[in-house]
A = this chain, B = another copy of it.
Amino acid sequence: MTPIRHNHADSDPVLDAARDCVLAVGVRRTTLTDVARRAGVSRMTLYRRWPDVRSLVGDLMTREWIGVAADAMPPSDDDRPERERIVGGLVAGAAAFRAHPLFHKILDVDPELLLPYVLDRRGASQDALLGLLHTALENGHEDGSVRVVRTDLQARSLLLVVQSFTLSLRTMTDETDPELSEAAFLGELRTLLERTLTP
């Protein structure tokens, strides 16, 4: 957790209010009226920025997941190869995402909202995460620490892997067995990422 996260965009009071509403009642039962009331602004003010609750929640999710990813990414360090930073960031990001209260709420209350982004098409959050990964991979190609392959393909392939270890991990863990714990799977994820990124 670095103070960088709490920049101007991050402390948008409307997005904060939307987050509180989603944590209270889930995505589907959140309304623009509730969010406006909680943020202390008029509904017209909200409508000027977001035509519907769907677009508002989309912006909330993008902010939250980019925040998780940015917090998880170790700071740049000229002494360490970029590959180490990427692997560390992805593993910490998967763990932080799984621990995030919004992720829990969606899993508990609105899991069907995740389905299109698993089966059909990318959402804004996924594209934003791909943008971060793209930059990091290009740095890694430049410093020679990351296997060179078309960056788009590499970023999207990494996201497929990390998404599965995030969204589907619960289907595979067995918390009564330390060798099948979440930590054990994150260790395998680290090995897998390290090996696939090595030149």
Contact = CB atoms under 8 A, between A and B. Distances in A.
Interface of A: 107, 111-112, 114-115, 117-122, 126, 149-150, 152-154, 156-157, 159-161, 163-165, 167-172, 179-180, 184-185, 188-189, 191-192, 195-196, 198
Contact of A192 (B111, B121, B192): B192
B168 A119 contact: yes
Contact of A112 (B107, B115, B150, B188): B115
Contacts of A198: 195
Contact of A179 (B120, B152, B191): B152
A172 B119 contact: no
Query: Which secondary structure dominates where chain A touches chain B?
Result: helix
A117 B179 contact: no
B172 A156 contact: yes
A121 B198 CA distance: 33
A89 to B, nearest CB: 18
Nearest to A185: B157
A146 to B, nearest CB: 13
Contacts of A189: 157
B171 A152 contact: no
Contacts of A161: 160-161, 164, 192
B164 A160 contact: yes
A44 B112 CA distance: 35
